[in-house]
Amino acid sequence: MKFRVTLTLLKLLAYLFKHRDPRPYGLMIQRELGLTSATTYGLLDRLEKAGHLTSELEDIDEVAMGRRKRRLVQLTPSGLEFAVEAFQAVPQFSILPDAQNDLEGPSPRPPAPDVQSP
């Protein structure tokens, strides 16, 4: 599956890369990145269908907690590789420099409009 490398996708991948523990959930991501619900859940669903993301409902008692269960998400190993490739495809991306400093791999390539999912 191909993903168009957009600023929104890069922001989401950087966020997921940095926030691995505790695992974030959709509304948290939406609020912190200032995205719409449709954009957030649309990208999360596409990443999950491509095998780059896993999700599961948290194990809580909804009545005792007074809220619904959250869908916790995290990048898979292929998702981490995909994030590295996406950042390398757009070397000028610098929203979260610490996340980029953690990435290892070959020298950045020139910008490319699409990244092929492994």
Can you read off the two tokens belonging to residue 48? 């999950």
Confidence check: pLDDT of 38 > 90: yes
Q: Give the separation between CA 74 and CA 82, rounded to whole angstroms.
A: 13
Residue at token pair 């495809």: 89
Can you read off the two tokens belonging to residue 14? 């950087």
**Check: CATH 1.10.10.10 for 28-90?**
yes
pLDDT in tens, 58-100: 999 999 999 999 999 999 999 999 998 888 888 776 544 454 4
Residue ranges covered by each domain of the chain: 28-90
